[in-house]
Every structure is written in structure tokens, then in C-alpha cells.
Chain A
Amino acid sequence: MPDGWYPKIVAFCCNWCSYGGADTAGVSRMQYPPSVRIIRVMCSGRVEPAFVLKAFREGADGVFVGGCHLGDCHYQAGNYKWWRRAELIKRLLDEIGIGSERFEYDWISASEGEKFAEVMRKFHERIEKLGPLKLNEKLELL
């Protein structure tokens, strides 16, 4: 890991499940790395591909999206909608040199605090191994 670098992870979590999962993890004092910055969205179906790309552009080394389990979405099928986008985003990230390993999505319910913490720990470890994305420096080049 380069000196002085610590991963930055942006996690979009749906209000009704994954955000609740994060909350459960917090309330039950389960540890997960402080590299994770949670952004609450109403539904994973609200997460547009541009949000993910923007997060990378603004300095994220990894991006996570959490939604309700399939069939449990508060808005019925928002997570199906997200799922279709997510697989296309992975394809694009590989082609554009960011790499789909820097991107993860999962279904986590509000009661699954332990799962949330575990998924975050694993993702953090993976990003730590991959190292910094260094997009900012390249964005400044003419």
C-alpha cells in the first residue's frame, strides 16, 4: 500500500434495506473500515450509472451499491432495474481501465448488520490490494 494512502470507498445504500443494514451494524458495534462513505438513496433503482462514474471521477477508489434482496424491494422491482445496469457498468469499467474489481453490489436486508460489515471489510481489503486509482492526477493532464 503506498505511503499515506487510505482507500476511499463510496457506498450507495438503499434506504429500506442496505442502509438499515449499515445502521444495524453500527448499533450492534460491528466493525467495518472507516474508508466506507455511505450515501443513502431511496432505492438501488435510483442509482444511475452516472453516479458510479462520477464517484470514481471525484476520487473514489471503489464503489459499492447495496439494495434489498431480490423480491424485497420497497418499490417492487427497483433492484432488478439496478441489477441490469450493474452488469453493464461492470462491462464498461473493464473496458475503460478502471476494472470491475473496483465495483461491487450486493443485496443486504436491514437486519443483516453482520453481512453488511463483512461485505464492507472484504471490499475494503480488495481495494487496499488494488491500490489507489489515481484518476485525479490524470484528469489534470492536458
Chain B
Amino acid sequence: MTKKVMTIWLGGCSGCHISLLDLHERLLSVFSDDVELVYSPPLLDFKEIPEHVDVALIEGGIRNEDNVEEAEEVREAADVVIAVGTCACFGGIPGLGNLFENEELLERAYVSTPTTVNEEGEPPSEDLPELTWRVHPLSDVIDVDIMVPGCPPSPDDILEAVRCALEGEEFELPRKSVCDECPREKKGKVIRSIKRPFEGEPDPERCLLEQGYPCLGPATRAGCGGRCPEVGVPCAGCRGPAEGAPDQGAGMISALASAYRVEEEEEPGFDPVELAESVPDPVGWFYRFTLASALIPFRADRGEEP
């Protein structure tokens, strides 16, 4: 019997769909005579979510009421739900919106950004779905069967997840951290303060964190081959928390604390405030992709009104 697959985007940027399309002709290895794509916003012009599908790929997390409704409808329809990408798995970059009141977000997006022309000076309100109080990962709203982290995940990871879902196999993620696959050399020298990524020239061979650059590799799940640090850019943590430490920021605080002046800790003048104060933007570094699924997933002093 022909199996049916659908894809949908919710609170995402469409990048995960682009990654899927990056499979190019390899898409044909999935969608053959036996597997039919029945719904997919960037590819097919159908308006109604099908009543039943074998596998549904969902990109994006929950940002508004419409996302909630569609997520629930897809869950109803699908035997297997795959959360594709870090937005769907952990809330992703949009999750940083949880640091602000919704009003502030709307005002910023629709009125005060320098590139916005809005003569009335009011955010639009008619016929738009209401924002939820905060951004959520998909799993806050529906059961998720397979998670494919990454912003976006590689085409191969998406392909493999779909294959596993169709064949009833378990989709396995690497259990190590990005540091384990990063080619840079760790010398165990201690750091004193955190630099901004644009400051100075990083040594091309050495671990970026040990040079004081804000790399999230120790707290991030492996699987990308350490492709950012490999070319001199600190890991931003896009693949979400490493195995066994589901709060990425808490994991990073531990890793960072162990890199600070360890060898001289018992000398007079040792004061960890120096390190803490040098971190320019703790939430933006520790939780850039996973605030919405962190232990404290929003600014705790936000108002309760939507």
C-alpha cells in the first residue's frame, strides 16, 4: 500500500524545508511509487491538512494560536510525527522572544525596526492569529515521536529520520558533544574572560573556548562534525543540548566554570566574578536556540497578561 507523508511549517523560518529540498534528486529515493507526498506548503498547493498520513514532518515551534491548532490537527492525522529542526524540537531562535512581553515584540517587529514603514504606528491586529503567551517547543503541545535537531538539520539527517519513520526503525542521535568531534586542539590552559567573537584573531589550531571565545560546543549535541569551530566560528549551539544535560545553558555554565583559572584557584586574588562579568550576554550565548525548552523558559518577571 502507498504510504503517505506530509510536511508543514509552524513557528519556523522555512529553512528546514529548504534543507529538505536540498536533497534534490535524492528526494526521489524517498518519494517513489510506494511513498506519496500529500501535503507540503512549499511544494504542493493543497489547503486542507489530510485526514490520515503515515508520517508528518513538522518544522517550527509554537508561536501563535494558529500553530497550536495546526499542530493538534497534524497529530490527529499522523501515525508518526517528526519534529524537524531546532525550532520544533526546542523552540529555536524565536524562543528568545520569551525574554520580552508580547506587546514589546509586536511593537518592535511592526513599528520600531529601522526598516519598517508603519504610518499608523500600531501593530496590525485584524485577521491575525493571537500570539501565545510564549514560544514553546512542539512537545509542549503534542506528542513528538522523532526529533531531528539542527538549525537547520542536514538533508541527510532529515532523510534518515523519514526512512526510519517509514520503516518503523529507531532514529538515533549521536550521544557525544560537538567538542568530541571538533578538530581543534585542547591544551587545558585556563581562561580569564570572554571575548566577543569579533575581537582579535583566533589561533587557527586551538580550542576557541580556551582562547576566550564564546563557544557552546561542550553543551551541544554532536552530529555536525564541529563545522563552525572548524572554520573559526564559535559553536552557537544549534543542535540543542548534549545527551544527559537537557538544559543547555546549565550544561554550559558547568563547562565554562571548569575552564576558569583552574590551575591557580587557590592563589590569592582568585575571584570568579571576573569571568561572570565578562560574559556579554548570558542568555544569548547559553540559550540562543533552546530558551523555550530550558528549565526557566522565559523571563520570570514577565507579566501574566497575554
Contact = CB atoms under 8 A, between A and B. Distances in A.
Contacts of B282: 88, 91-92, 95
Interface string B274-303: 011101011100100000001111111110
B172 to A, nearest CB: 24
Interface residues of A, number: 33
A83 interface: yes
How many residues of B sit at the interface, in one of the four size bands? 35 or more
15 contacts: A48-B254, A50-B251, A56-B295, A56-B300, A77-B266, A84-B272, A86-B272, A88-B256, A88-B275, A92-B249, A96-B99, A97-B99, A97-B299, A97-B302, A98-B296
A137 B299 CA distance: 13
Nearest to A90: B276
Contact of A84 (B133, B136, B250, B260): B260
Contacts of A98: 296, 300-301
Nearest to B141: A142
B134 interface: yes
Contacts of B254: 48-49, 85
A91 B272 contact: no
A54 interface: yes
Contact of B272 (A50, A88, A139): A88
B304 interface: yes
A96 B256 contact: no
B299 A96 contact: yes
A92 B300 contact: no
A50 B265 contact: no
Contacts of A91: 276-277, 279, 282
B283 A96 contact: yes
Contact of A87 (B134, B275, B286, B302): B275
B127 to A, nearest CB: 21
Contact of A53 (B62, B133, B247): B247
A66 B282 CA distance: 24
A133 to B, nearest CB: 6
Contact of B250 (A49, A81, A99): A49
A129 interface: no
Contacts of A81: 257-258
Nearest to B283: A95
A39 interface: no
Interface in A74-124: 77, 80-81, 83-92, 95-99
Contact of B300 (A86, A87, A133): A133
B43 interface: no
A135 interface: yes
Contact of A141 (B134, B247, B266, B286): B134
Nearest to A57: B295
A92 B249 CA distance: 9
A56 B276 contact: no
